Structures are given as structure tokens and as C-alpha cells.
Amino acid sequence: MNTAMNEWLIFLRSADALVCVPLLAGGGGLMVFGWRIWKTCVVLCFVVAGVVVGRELAGNASDRLLYASVGAVVCGALSYKSAEFAVSLLGGLIGTVIAAESLKMIGLTGMAFWLVVLALFLSFSALAYINRQTVAVFVAAFLGAILVVSGIAVCVMLSPTTYGYFHSALLDSSLVLPFMLLVPTTMSCFYQISEVNSSGTAV
């Protein structure tokens, strides 16, 4: 996952200024209308997950593209065929990853760690299935926030002074990036949930 994030940052650092336009437009669209295309958002998440897993399973560098492509196709196809269960699984994965980081911070390791992670995954997945509409909105809002923040990052990186300021802020505190993503995600979630409730649409 860190490798994928680093590659995305390298892409943003070398991107042309015009790249920020589709990033901001696409991200803004997902933050406002993402609930209407929640299945596409869920499939996209699994495609990215398939790429990451495929690259990690690749035996050597020459196999990475093949493994990543197969992983993307398999995960994308499975999530598209059963979108309601896929969004529940995605919610379980998100909750488990966050909880697992907390478990590492308190020093839990070994078999006990994996047993707790498994129990948390099953619990979060069941909870996500019950609240799959909220999870679907969150996924769309989070993807939109990532694109918007990425678009802003492209603009920031064009100015060495501004880029140096934000780069220092990111290095000084590990909370800056999560905060930058959390704020637009939360705002988008509230807005989209209100739109879903007013339209009477159910996931």
C-alpha cells in the first residue's frame, strides 16, 4: 500500500498543471453525486485493491503488470457481480485496517493479533452490511476527497515555496494528511446522506 501511495505522489509531483482540472472536477462530482454511482465507486476500490495485491504477489518486476492486471480484473468482476456484499466487505476492510493500526500501537502481536483482526473483520463486515447505504456513501465521498486533495496537491506543487511549507507540515505531523481527507469526506457524507434520504433511494 505504501508503494502504491508513493507512486501516486510521484505521479502528482511530475504531472502537468492541467491534470488538476479533471482531478478537481471528478472529485467534486463524486463528493456531490457519488451516491448515484456507488456501485462504480465500489468496483473501482476493488480494482485498485486487486492491482495492489497482484503487484505484491508478483514474483519479479517483469510479472508485476500481468499480476496487477489479473488482480484488477478478478476483483473488479467479483465486486460488480455482488455489489451489495462487496460494499459490506469493503466497509469491513476499512474498519479492520483502522483498528489493526490501533492494535499495533498498543503492542498486540502474533497469533492474538490475527485472531482479534479476524473477529473485527467479521464484526465490521456484518455492521457494514446492515448500514451498507452509509458505507456506500462514505466510499464515494472518500474517493472524491482523494481526487480533490490530489488536484489541490498538483497546484501546490507548482509553487516551490508553498510546496515546501506543506511538505514540512506533512513531515512534522502524521495527522495533517488524514485531517485533509477527513474534512471533505465528512462534509460530503452529510450532504449525500441528506440527498439519499430526500430521494428515497436505497442501496
**DSSP codes of every residue in 55-114:** HHH-SSGGGHHHHHHHHHHHHHHHHHHTHHHHHHHHHHHHHHHHHHHHHHHTT--HHHHH
Whether 202 is in a domain gets the answer no
Please write the tens of the pLDDT for every residue from 114-168: 898 899 999 999 998 998 888 889 989 988 998 898 888 888 877 777 767 776 7
97 within 8 A of 124, measured Cβ to Cβ: no
Residues 10-24 have pLDDT tens digits of 777 777 778 888 989
Domain assignment present for residue 200? The answer is no
Amino acid present at 131: N
Distance CA 46, CA 187 (A): 24
Domain, as residue range, for 20: 2-195
Burial class (CB in 10 A: 0-12, 13-18, 19+), 159: exposed
The domain tally of the chain equals: 1
| Rg from Cα positions in the chain | 18
Model's pTM, two decimal places? 0.78
Domain-embedded: residue 126? yes
User: Is position 91 within any domain?
Assistant: yes
